[in-house]
Chain A
């Protein structure tokens, strides 16, 4: 434990030294900008995202790079929010002059970054699941949207658990509201009722009043969509401390966080386009490579980090197809390329979004995730009809 802390201090000092040394940028590299939430709500998952990108980059570089150019990762902290994202995007697009942006972010950060992407005319592959319908001529999305993710959980609750009434809890921001809005509509079209829909600001930690309302309403199941990291943890802890044990579907938690929550997370249903238990060649190879590359420091790959890995390869494919890193050509090429990764064959060809195979799973008491059902090639629906 002490070693762990010492390592951190040393690496902090080393980073300081390295940063001050500022090595000269090698000519003939392709820079991949990764603005990600190293601090703030996404700080829990950010390390896994960065690791996924690092593995992809090192594999591609070992294989000769892209059009014989080496890839270089440039990571910037977007603070998981609008202000930080502005600074991160500005720094990556205008100061570091990256060739492409590939990352996952909160919706607040993405919305703040898009104007800069549009101004800087840099291709942007958004690798995070989100509430849908964000469109820009410069952006592609390879992660899921509500049309793909909500149905498995709701259908399962209604059929296997016999749930008719639901209670929805979320963090008050674009993703939280967007997801629960879609969920409510879906539940109602399927004949269920929504007994309550409550939100807390992203930095809120006290769910007491909402939990009391939940218990008073007495629903058959809960569905939550809170911001990653702290809100997920605090809500789950407080729900369990209050003795809530009805079926609990979390639209926004990743395997790693769930694992770390220990016993409290047992029983949570997740619906994701990636779980570590996917039985495929590509996934096994990927997990082995991650294990080898990062060893003891490995952060569990999850539904937010694997799309990052695949996106880097998708970019490689697009550049090779276009024959150059020219932004306009790459944007056109991204519509046509595909990559077979841990999640299967990924292609962002449905209005800038990707059909995906979705998995319904449940977190077990020992932290592992048990697969319950899978749905192949779910369509993302009408996301950007004008593009």
Chain B
């Protein structure tokens, strides 16, 4: 089943990233050609302001990656810009000037920015941090940095800033080419990056961060690394800006510049890379021209446009224009890349000697409300265990405690001999847990293929510049994809799928994690009879053929009776019955519980 030979469609798929790379290179070359010619066609003043705008555009691009793609509303990219700029000014003013010093200053600025980015990331992106808190930290950053500059007195020039320090007084054309080349390089790399596998991960984080954790994606680490990288780029842009303009002032590190960046990105079109770049250039150049004639009115226009865009056109102006243009030219949007599916040999589940799942004394309380109490049970290999009980019994809470180490208030959960402790969901995935949520919480704007690939994060290398042409899935996941027709819809966005297809995709994603223990919360909710039978068949084969352990919460008692090997009944946060299907399903106790009997519930056998 593995290692299919290279078929025509596969060859085509392998060629796709090459084609993508070529497309980007072509645009890059075109832009470079424009860059070379431009200084000779434009007047000096325009070239002057364009140089500044080009450096700022590179900075705006970093904001787009953080905010437009990853959903981190950051006010603080200006701080990194300022770090790079002040590194340049401080070194040139106080220490020395020359090619060696310039390289030293640039590296110093980038390293300082990366250190700051690391600190900010650690502070802002811890597991469980709200997006608002992250924004607050990015807001505090430029304010703190500005005050640090003020505190520097004569050394940093304080409120006045530093100017007239020795720098390279090259011709305007030379600076224009430097700024432009920097921007083109960063833009091309950024475009490749956001369209690659990793780029899709960023979008997934933006759309549903919690789900990403349950797919084993280390969200905090990714965000921190991203902030460090964007900080480095921002610092490089700041360095160039300071070296050219020969002036640094606290405004460069400040909160106002940080918010201007957001305005440029919002107006240009967040999440498009090109939009913010062009938007920044257009707005900055226009404002330089107009600042003399109509200073207040121009800011008023920008402010109004900004508010309108946020409220009415959240995508930004450029994408709206692009859509309109496309409709005019009757062109369809570019098709999303479709990888070839390939089966991969699954690893055997966990250590043979150990019991897959041991739950000891797990309890969960919210203040004085006890939701789970004294939960003790074990699950062996090849067991299909159903959790039943009326609403409010604590079934979903128990599932949560198994998939997220931080959820439980007390007790132990041990997986293949390893204590779950207080590990967050992505670490639980690494230990072998795969959780499927009740509602199919997938990513609306990603395609089926992209969603499936996300689940492979822990197991495969994710490219930073291309979409890997081959998508490897374990057999069970592949079966679902083929049988439910998802294999023909790999390039369809999830929001266009039917409910049943979404559920199937969700399950396929969980299985693509190659979990040893699968936790399912009401997998048959809202499914047709055929779909239910299919899921039942898949779960049974998982358990029998691959010896996984499956734990499912289910209300459909017929379904439970058909496929389970064991049933646990829960009521008011406790386990009241744990036995085979026959023992449990026909017991009087269960009927009592489900009928809502007024007698107090006693242990089985009463």
Complex Cα gap A88–B289 (Å): 10
Residues of B contacting A108 in the complex (Cβ-Cβ under 8 angstroms): 159-161, 249
Q: Is the CB of A115 within 8 A of B295?
A: no
Contacts of A95 in B (CB 8 A): 45, 289
Contacts of A182 in B (CB 8 A): none
Interface residues on A, range: 35 or more
- Looking at the complex, which of B150-158, B313-321, B449-457 is the stretch in contact with chain A? B150-158
For window 47-64 of B, CB contacts with A under 8 Å fall at: 48-49
Cβ of B293 under 8 Å from chain A: yes
B251-A177 in contact (CB<8A): no
Contact with A along B236-263 (1 / 0, CB 8 A): 0000000001111101100000000000
The digit string for A266-294, where 1 denotes a CB below 8 A from any CB of B, is 00000000000000000000000000000
CB distance from B396 to the nearest CB of A (A): 52
Q: A134 CB to closest chain B CB, in angstroms?
A: 10
The answer on a CB contact under 8 Å between B48 and A94 is yes
Q: Is the CB of A107 within 8 A of B294?
A: no
Q: Are B247 and A12 in contact (CB under 8 A)?
A: no
* Residue with the greatest number of chain A CB neighbours at <10 A, chosen from B158, B247, B249, B288: B247
Q: Which of A90, A112, A202 contacts B163 (CB 8 A)?
A: A112
Question: Is the pair B160, A201 in contact by a Cβ cutoff of 8 Å?
Answer: no
Q: With A and B bound together, what is the CA distance between A90 and B43 in angstroms?
A: 13
Known: A12-B296, A108-B249. A177 touches B153 (CB 8 A): yes
Of residues 274 to 331 in B, which have CB atoms within 8 Å of A's CB atoms?
Answer: 288-297
Least CB separation from A76: chain B residue: B292
Q: Which residues in chain A, 166-202, are within 8 Å of chain B measured between CB atoms?
A: 171-175, 177, 199, 201-202
Q: A77, B291: Cβ atoms under 8 Å? A: yes
Residue A341 interfacial (CB < 8 Å) = no
* Residues in B whose Cβ lies below 8 Å from that of A77: 291-292, 295
Report whether A90 and B48 are in contact in the complex, using a CB–CB cutoff of 8 Å: yes
Shortest CB–CB separation between residue B152 and chain A, in angstroms?
10
The interface residues of chain B, by DSSP majority, are classed as helix
Known: A83-B249, A86-B245, A91-B288. A173 touches B158 (CB 8 A): yes
Indicate if the CB atoms of B161 and A112 lie closer than 8 Å. yes
The closest CB in chain B to the CB of A83 belongs to: B251
What residues of chain B lie closer than 8 Å to A62, measured between beta carbons?
none
A2 vs B323: C-alpha distance when bound (angstroms): 47
| Contact of B164 with A by CB under 8 A | yes
What is the minimal beta-carbon distance from A341 to any residue of chain B, in angstroms?
Answer: 28
Among A39, A91, A171, A172, the residue within 8 A (CB) of B153 is: A172
Write out the residue numbers on chain A whose beta carbons fall within 8 Å of the beta carbon of B291. 76-77, 87-88, 91
CB nearest to B291 among chain A residues: A87
- Given known pairs A77-B292, A201-B159, the reply for A111 and B150 (CB within 8 Å) is no
Nearest CB in chain A: distance from B168 CB, A: 13
**A81 in the interface (beta carbon within 8 A):** yes
Contacts of B587 in A (CB 8 A): none
Complex CA distance for A177 and B45, rounded to whole angstroms? 34
* A16 with B297: CB separation less than 8 A: yes
Q: What are 24 contact pairs spanning A and B, CB under 8 A?
A: A12-B296, A76-B291, A76-B292, A77-B291, A77-B295, A81-B161, A82-B160, A82-B161, A82-B247, A87-B49, A87-B288, A88-B291, A90-B45, A91-B45, A106-B160, A111-B161, A111-B163, A112-B161, A114-B164, A115-B163, A119-B169, A175-B160, A177-B158, A201-B150
Query: B residues touching A (Cβ–Cβ < 8 Å)?
Result: 44-45, 48-49, 147, 150, 153-154, 157-161, 163-164, 169, 245-249, 251-252, 288-297
17 extra A-B contacts, CB within 8 A, seeds A15-B294, A81-B251, A173-B158: A19-B294, A77-B291, A82-B161, A82-B248, A83-B251, A87-B288, A88-B292, A90-B49, A91-B45, A94-B44, A108-B249, A111-B247, A114-B163, A119-B169, A172-B159, A199-B158, A201-B147
The 3 closest A-B CB pairs, nearest first, are: A19-B293, A82-B249, A173-B159
